[in-house]
Amino acid sequence: MTKDQAKAKIEILSKQLDEHNYRYYVLAQPTISDYDFDMLLEELIKLEKEYPEFLKPDSPSQRVGGQVTKEFKTVKHKYPMMSLGNTYSEEELRDFDDRIKKGIAEKFEYVCELKFDGVAIGLTYKDGHLVQAITRGDGEQGDDVTTNVKTIRSIPLSLRGTHYPKEFEIRGEIYMPLKEFESINKEREELGDALLANPRNAAAGTLKMQDSTVVAGRKLDCFLYYLLGEKLPHQSHYENLLEAKTWGFRVSEHMARCADIDAVLKYIAHWDNERHKLEFDIDGVVIKVNSQEQQRVLGFTAKSPRWAISYKFKAERVSTILESISYQVGRTGAITPVANLKPVLLAGTTVKRASLHNADIIEKLDVRVGDTVYVEKGGEIIPKIIGVDVSKRAAHTHKTKYITKCPECDTPLIRGEEEANHYCPNENGCPPQIKGKMEHFVSRKAMNIDSLGGETIGQLFDSGLVKNIADLYDLKKEDLLPLERMAEKSATNLIAGIEESKQVPFNRVLYALGLRHVGETTAKKLAYYFKNIDALMKANVEQLLEVGDIGEVIAKSIVAHFRDKKNIEIIERLKNKGLKFELSEEQLAATSDKLKDLTFVISGVFSKFSRDDLKKLIEQNGGKNVGSVSGKTSYLLAGENMGPEKLKKAEKLGVKIISENDFVKMIG
């Protein structure tokens, strides 16, 4: 490509991306998918890197931080904005209740809140003034929409009274009232414009508009439902929200305390019937443990709090024709059957495909090609088939036979006794698995080789340059230059990125290897427990089960991975290339075996460390954290305002009770 051609292409891509930004954020009428947008943006970024003289300050690429921001500044959340687990039945809610009872021995109560169907927002206040408003984004970072949020009249710019923390965050949901939504659509209809799909999409599109005057005219509203920060006024979620109400925040009057799960179910049943009388959309109910101390005891998974869950009301359902079934292969070899549907409008979007999950679901539904099927959006996000209209089934149809061989490499599929999915075991020879593993390997939370995207990985694999992740470290610049759209500078950056990745710490390298069932958090625990890859590779199932939160399925998966000679060969090659397969001296300095074979229960509030810090110190020194006191507990680590039931049980069982200072002395 000549310089003139590059300049022309950059101008074309910039205009296209600006147009798509406008349609998505201002008109709320996207004409391409997020994936297609990202591909155009990736192409622009590559060209601008090769020809920096044509990079303009207002280029769409300049809206890219850690994520594609397009219009708004990306800001890291002070407290991660985690998602909630979803439930859809009374049985699942009672299972949640049972988990809470196992996690905390003391009496507890729930707070129930309506699940508003809008856009999650985090508002930061300092000295009583609104200073920042951030959308949820990916949970780790979101978009700064402060200017537009200031137009929402129910959000106070300055707080009432004086009894609020010096700095805090309050979270809530921005939504479009139904009357406003109907009014806008009536006007659009009169003008001959396309109607807005639903209030949630309308709120999201409005919040990202460039002109705050237009945002003000849209009359968005907001409910607040979660207070975060140091020195909050109360130790209960419910009382904190009532206090926030006195500061000028709009807190829903429909929030309620519930003594037990039966009261929760009554609240849900009431609002399932009454929700259509509200002036705004809700799609369920959120259930939270009220006590903040009990919330801290229950803690978090990698993705969501253990002390809260959402109950989703029955989703919108439509019927359509199942035209065919195809099968996708994931990076771990998991096979996912996909229903290809006659296009149908569902919850504001056109649905062409839906998940069939696994062979058991296909068998249970007895779904067949040509059937009229009922489709819902699971959690209103992922379409799924939930039933078949057998009365419309044509004569002489055949039962669906689940595939027995991989659709990509023809390898016979396997299925573990305790697993729902079939798997292709050819992890080192199945093309989508190899490409998927490489994409995972180079991802931001793994090796973070940002100059190596999915398209380039496909080129490298298809050209025969790489067949596994270790081959990436054998690449030379001259190997890359013949590839399409790979210029000198791009090749240099890619090689530099691969070389730089050798500094990534062991826990992230372990995560990057892509072992089945081993996520980011689990990889970190394994790394700190075993300290190097050799010790981990020698571990048997029993030894792995000693690691906190490692169950039998994960343990067996790890053992199986390290029994495969090809996987061992790849690790040895990566070792020889200089990747880190043991904790660094700095990381090791913070670890020891001083607490080996000891189990701890933590309760109360501490002055030197947070509860999470204490748990981390226990794990780094070879100990194990457990949630409740039993005869096998070694120590109860007690802080101020600890749970009386835990104390009583520890005294009854003769469990030794230690203070924060005692613990510090134990680990030196």
- Which are the catalytic amino acids? 115
CB 521 within 8 A of CB 478: no
Q: Report the distance separating Cα 566 and Cα 200, nearest Å.
A: 49
568: helix, coil or strand? helix
Q: Which of 638, 602, 640, 639 is nearest to 618 (CA)?
A: 602
Pairing label, strands 372-378, 599-603? unpaired
Q: Report the distance separating Cα 542 and Cα 556, nearest Å.
A: 10
Look-up of token digits 């945002």: 215
Q: Which of 332, 330, 329 is nearest to 561 (CA)?
A: 332
Q: Report the distance separating Cα 343 and Cα 384, nearest Å.
A: 14
Helix axes 520-530, 611-620, angle to 10 degrees: 50
Token duo for residue 493: 């950056």
Look-up of token digits 């040509």: 370
CA quadruple 219, 224, 230, 231: dihedral, nearest 10 = 110
The 10 Å Cβ neighbour count of residue 533 is 23
The 308-312 sheet, strands edge to edge: 86-87, 308-312, 282-289, 110-116, 256-258
φ, ψ of residue 508 to 5 degrees: the values are -75, -35
For the chain, helix (H) and strand (E) counts, in that order, are: 25, 20
623: helix, coil or strand? coil
Q: Which of 645, 638, 641 is nearest to 662 (CA)?
A: 638
φ, ψ of residue 323 to 5 degrees: the values are -85, -35
End-to-end, the C-alpha distance of the chain in Å comes to: 63
Q: How far is the CA of 503 from the CAs of 155, 227, 418, 449, in angstroms?
A: 45, 39, 38, 11
Q: Which residues pair with 285 in a beta bridge?
A: 114, 311
Show Cβ contacts of residue 221 under 8 Å, excluding neighbours closer than 6 positions. Answer: 152, 154, 174, 175, 176, 177, 250, 280
- Please tell me what DSSP assigns to residue 313: P
Encoded amino acid at 313, one letter: F
Q: Report the distance separating Cα 175 and Cα 537, nearest Å.
A: 51
Q: Which residues pair with 133 in a beta bridge?
A: 123
Q: Report the distance separating Cα 469 and Cα 607, nearest Å.
A: 46
